[in-house]
Amino acid sequence: MQSPTPSESALPALRLADFDTVTEALDYAARGRSGLNFYSGKGELTEVLPYALLREQATDLARRMLNAGLRPGDTVAMIAETDGDFLRAFYACQYAGLVPAPMPLPAAFGGKDAYIDHIRRMIQSAGAAAALAPAFLLDWLNAAATGLDLKAVGTLAQFADVPAGGVDLPRVEPGALCYLQFSSGSTRFPLGVAVTQRALMANAAGITRHGLQVRPGDRCISWLPLYHDMGLVGFLLAPLTSQLSVDFLATREFARRPLLWLQLMTDNGATLSYSPSFGYELAARRAETASTATLDLSRWRVAGIGGDMVRPRVLSRFAEAFAPRGFRREAFVASYGMAEATLALSFAPLDRGIVTDTADLDRLENDGVAVPSGSEAARAREFVLCGPALPAHEIQVRGEDGTVLPERRVGRIFARGPSLMREYRDRPEETAQVLSADGWLDTGDLGYVADGQIVITGRAKDLILVNGRNIWPQDLEWTAETGVPSLRSGDTAAFSVDSDAGEAVTVLVQCRATDPEAREDLRRAVAGVLRAAHGLEVAVVLVPPHSLPQTSSGKLSRSRARQMFLAGAFAASAAPAGPAAASAPGPAA
């Protein structure tokens, strides 16, 4: 029977990302005993891949790929299944001087045709010379690649009969591209974030040395998708650069059995794991109906939160649910980052848990300043402090005129440092819009600085302006989801639409009830809690369960929800919840 790789690598020294390239990092890790382990939805160990074996298989495959006609610099698009084949292909590209471009699995897309169309655009955007997929998606990949001029399309099996000899692997330079990371929100015109070996190593150093402060005996576990930056960099590449073993559970299996994540952590003694807020919420909800008696989470020292806005109430519920199983709420670590910065830009200090800043919501909305709330009766909003910038990186908050704002003034967030992307691949205009000549990245996020730490308030493109007030849509969504008992996290999407009277606010609500009276009650309840908490009249539109669109990383896509609404994808069933609701524009019923 197979056993997972040990947590201790048995190498003479733990090296934290002090390499020039991914290949150097794997060469070193391969001298030890640690590696990667894959689990089924039943918790069965399906494959053990020590770094030594991964290196052997990756270098062999690299030679076969070059002998098959691929050339250093070519891009290889690959659907990122959570399995050994994806890892073999990804690291083979590293050794062959090829540029892997991970693509998503179908889960976040609206059916076969939409998925095929999406990955076709990704293959074209990447300028790919080859495209790879797991066997169960081969027909879909072939459909996506039809008519494209590719050197190879298929599974890794196509290289099995290609000789591995007679070719030398190229020298990989620090300035070479390491991979292309598609921005999760870019669906119509996918943008490939071009990350160099040097940028990857700079970010891995910040993550392992500063953010996580990796130590001997640490072990990772992840269910995050490998086509997303948090899964790819945070739990595949960064652990490699510090010789850590990683246990993998496919995202779809986590969604079915969220407590399996924690059971595997218990069984293997994992100490490092990350999740967006919704993952913690899903596990806490499952704990209400399933036994947690076999769990021991006392060794979990970094419970990271990233990939979306941090929801303190969700994390509190998780901490309360699993405190009897040894979980420490001090293990929570908030962070901030994005694919354009490789992954991380900031980490909150370790062992302090979630630290929040409660701001007066009226001053925030009307004046753009985060004044600490001085009264329990005042309208307030709780924000999470996400830490200072990583070493060698800078974060600034700027006003509309580009001036750097003082602490507690809300503005647009800019970042600079060695982890930033080189460009959006072959998209100079889009690159110039976000990356200045002197190296500053316009993140597209809004926020402020408090006590030297960055605080994220939302995305600039999602901001709602009503009668001079800046309203963050997630505030409306969270108010509805916490104020109406029947709603769950992710059940709402708030945005504004233009009307003759100005901007009107629409809230889409996923409704599971079929009884007309129950549906009407839900509309009234949502409109009521938003009126009471925010002083807004909104149009409440009930939509079917699971109909709100998501990005490839599983986050709500408000822009896509708005587009669908305006295109008539949802039946407009807004209740007359006030003047705004009665006159709110939208598709005809």
Q: Which residue shows structure tokens 């830009």? A: 345
Q: Which tokens go with 301? A: 């020292």
Return d(Cα 318, Cα 312) in angstroms, integer. 10
Q: Kindly tell me the burial class for residue 13, based on how many C-beta atoms sit within 10 Å of its own C-beta (0-12, 13-18, 19 or more).
A: exposed
Residue 261 and residue 221 in contact, taking contact as beta carbons nearer than 8 Å: yes
Residue 277, helix vs strand vs coil: helix
Least confident of 49-53, 341-345, 490-494, 569-573: 569-573
Cα–Cα–Cα angle for 148, 152, 154, rounded to 5 degrees: 100
**Which CATH topology does 463-583 take?**
GMP Synthetase; Chain A, domain 3 (3.30.300)
Residue 36 and residue 26 in contact, taking contact as beta carbons nearer than 8 Å: no
What is the pLDDT confidence band of residue 578, given thresholds at 50, 70 and 90?
very low
Tens digit of each residue's pLDDT (9 = 90 or more) over 494-518: 988 876 556 688 999 999 988 889 9
- Residue 246, pLDDT > 90, answer yes
pLDDT for 465: 77
The model carries a pTM of: 0.86
Strands (E), 215-301: 220-222, 246-249, 272-275
pLDDT for 500: 57
Return d(Cα 495, Cα 529) in angstroms, integer. 17
Residue 584 and residue 539 in contact, taking contact as beta carbons nearer than 8 Å: yes
Tens digit of each residue's pLDDT (9 = 90 or more) over 419-478: 999 999 999 999 999 999 999 999 999 999 999 999 999 888 888 877 667 787 888 888
Bridge partners, 49 (sequence order): 36
Mean pLDDT of 217-225: 97
Q: Which residue shows structure tokens 């609206």? A: 110
Least confident of 130-144, 455-469, 532-546: 455-469
Return d(Cα 276, Cα 226) in angstroms, integer. 14
What is the pLDDT confidence band of residue 108, given thresholds at 50, 70 and 90?
low
pLDDT for 582: 31
- Domain 22-256 superfamily per CATH: ANL, N-terminal domain (3.40.50.12780)
Least confident of 27-36, 367-376, 519-528, 567-576: 567-576
Among residues 255, 256, 254, 237, the alpha carbon closest in space to that of 246 is found at 237
Q: Which tokens go with 324? A: 């009897």
Tens digit of each residue's pLDDT (9 = 90 or more) over 54-106: 999 999 999 999 999 999 999 999 999 999 999 999 999 999 999 999 999 99
Cα–Cα–Cα angle for 364, 365, 370, rounded to 5 degrees: 5
Domain residue ranges in the chain: 22-256, 463-583
Burial 317-342 (b: 16+ CB within 10 A, else e): bbbebbeebebbbebbbbbbbbbbbb
Return mean pLDDT, the chain: 91
Residue 445, helix vs strand vs coil: strand
Q: What is the number of other CB atoms lying within 10 angstroms of the CB of residue 279? A: 24
How far is CA 536 from its chain centroid? 31
Residue 46 and residue 33 in contact, taking contact as beta carbons nearer than 8 Å: no
Tens digit of each residue's pLDDT (9 = 90 or more) over 270-314: 999 999 988 999 999 999 999 999 999 999 999 999 877 788 989
Mean pLDDT of 519-533: 91
Tens digit of each residue's pLDDT (9 = 90 or more) over 328-366: 999 999 999 999 999 999 999 999 999 999 999 889 888
- Residue 553, pLDDT > 70, answer no
Least confident of 133-137, 236-240, 375-379, 559-563: 375-379
